[in-house]
Amino acid sequence: MTNHNDYLCEIHKIYADTMIYFPLCPPRYKCKTCKNKNISGYTNPEHVSNPFGYCYLCPSLCITCSLKDKKCMWC
């Protein structure tokens, strides 16, 4: 079984080891490869509360395309 963390670049591998990201919102962001709305917003451990709502971290590739193309989902 392949984990999507296997295809993280060196920059984002550091964050994967030190921070834990959880998908928090339903899929509403588009993948730049397949153009489907199948990317969830992730929690941001360094987020500061604000009155305008939560700021999600959004990868540029969905997990499926990241595994298929063997590219970092966050770049």
**Residue 74 domain flag:** no
Q: For residue 37, give the 3-state DSSP assignment.
A: strand
**Residue 39 domain flag:** yes
**Residue 75 domain flag:** no
How confident is the model at residue 28, as a pLDDT? 86
How confident is the model at residue 22, as a pLDDT? 67
Terminal C-alpha separation, the chain:
23
Q: In sequence order, what DSSP letters do the residues of 13-30 get, joined into one string? A: HHHHHH----B-S-S-EE
**Residue 48 domain flag:** yes
Give the residue numbers spanning the domain of 56. 4-69
Task: Specify the number of domains making up the chain.
Answer: 1
Residue by residue, pLDDT tens for the chain (75 residues) are 456 667 788 888 876 665 666 677 788 899 999 999 988 887 776 777 676 767 778 889 988 898 899 898 888
**Residue 20 domain flag:** yes
**Residue 58 domain flag:** yes
Tell me which residue of 52, 51, 58, 50 sits closest to 21, measured CA to CA: 58
